[in-house]
Amino acid sequence: MENLIPAITNAINNLADEFTTHELIIQVAKSEQHAYIQALHDHLESEKPFQSLHSKIGKFLAQSNHLVNSAGSKRDVDIFGQSSDNAIWKKSA
């Protein structure tokens, strides 16, 4: 996960002022493919490696007040096309 932090920061800079965790993950997976795949590979021991990594990304965002602040939640679609409740983040000023 630590190697993915620069990719997450870059993705945040390229997203709108408000975005969901799913939107961030999609941006990271598209624009920082090597870093995303490496981070995903680090979760191969998990029964659900995508879910494990994505959960860690959400926890990272929740602890990163210097980058983003929680702005509620909404239903949106994950990378597999499944709808679920997801955190909304607002960029820190």
| Residue 69 lies in domain | 2-91
pLDDT of residue 93: 76
| DSSP sequence for 6-73 | HHHHHHHHHS-SEEEHHHHHHHHHHH-HHHHHHHHHTTTTSSSHHHHHHHHHHHHHHT-TTTEEEEEE
pLDDT tens digits along 43-91: 999 999 999 999 999 999 999 999 999 999 999 998 889 999 999 999 9
pLDDT tens digits along 15-50: 999 999 999 999 999 999 999 999 999 999 999 999
In the chain, how many domains are there?
Answer: 1
Q: What is the CATH number of the domain that holds 61?
A: 1.10.10
pTM metric for this prediction:
0.89
pLDDT of residue 1: 78
